[in-house]
Amino acid sequence: MNSLFWSRAHGGATHFPIALILGATLFDLLAFFSPDSAKRSEFSTIGYWLVILGALGAFGAVFTGLALSKWTIGGTGLILRHHLFVWPAFAAIVGAATWRLVVGREPSRRGFAIYLCAMSVACALIGGAGFFGGELLLGQ
């Protein structure tokens, strides 16, 4: 399979986990700040499944990205900057999803706050990775 195939596969595979993780963070924030306990539980359940699906999707995104870059884990220039955001984002997503999976849908307030901080950092890292990934493809 040539680089064009992997370019398309990576483009297709990355946007699902990006959307799922951003969605998970949004719904978990809603759950955290919602005063209504019924809604809090519903938002939390949505966030729970979104982060798990997002973490599973992240493996596909990482695999296609590595295949596209011919298994380069660092590189130079824009691809290095892309990777400097990708690897911590990947670790943060897997870690957060694992914690959520183990703890369950309704963690303690304190644990949930720490989790949300980690997810917010992951979202920022995803933003950086996406920016430099876009620059790689579409930059002048």
Q: Point out which residues bind other proteins (CB under 8 A).
A: 2-4, 6-7, 59, 62, 66, 68, 70-73, 77-79, 87, 90-92, 94-96, 98-99, 102-104, 107-108, 111, 114, 135-140
Contact 105, 48 (CB under 8 A): yes
Q: Could you tell me the two tokens for 129?
A: 């990775």
Question: Cβ of residue 3: shortest distance to other proteins, in angstroms?
Answer: 4
Question: Cβ of residue 99: shortest distance to other proteins, in angstroms?
Answer: 4
Question: Cβ of residue 45: shortest distance to other proteins, in angstroms?
Answer: 13
- Give the Cα separation of 97 and 48 in Å (integer): 8
* 42 vs 135, beta carbon nearer other proteins: 135
Question: Cβ of residue 8: shortest distance to other proteins, in angstroms?
Answer: 9
* 32 vs 59, beta carbon nearer other proteins: 59
Q: Could you tell me the two tokens for 10?
A: 């990576």
One-letter amino acid for residue 39 of the chain: K
- Give the Cα separation of 59 and 94 in Å (integer): 9
Q: How many residues does the chain have?
A: 140
* 39 vs 134, beta carbon nearer other proteins: 134
* 35 vs 109, beta carbon nearer other proteins: 109
- Give the Cα separation of 87 and 57 in Å (integer): 15
Contact 58, 115 (CB under 8 A): no
